[in-house]
Amino acid sequence: MSFKSESDAKAYWKENLTLMVKLFVIWFVVSFGCGILLVDVLNQIQIGGYKLGFWFAQQGSIYTFVGLIFYYAKKMGELDRKYGVDDE
């Protein structure tokens, strides 16, 4: 199986890239953003015993990463079906 047309292939790839860029923005914000660059600002906020920036660096970013991968896998599954390139 492959794409029905050249334009389908282009559209599929473009949707894939758009989704990736969005998810990489989140990936960057939780780790490099909240965990490193903005850590001092966020540390002013405290949740339980955790300073927020510290929490992002040692806990929050990891939870987000897991969510991102599964979301990507799910969305790409839908995209594959939409363009008829899934392997079922």
Give the footprint of other proteins on this chain (CB under 8 A): 1-3, 9, 13, 16, 20, 23-24, 27, 31-32, 35-37, 39-40, 43, 47-51, 54-55, 57-59, 61-63, 65-66, 68-70, 72-73, 76-77, 80, 85-87
Min dist. Cβ of residue 76 to other proteins (A): 6
Min dist. Cβ of residue 24 to other proteins (A): 7
Strand segments, DSSP code E, in the chain are 46-47, 50-51
Token pair listed for 15: 């949707």
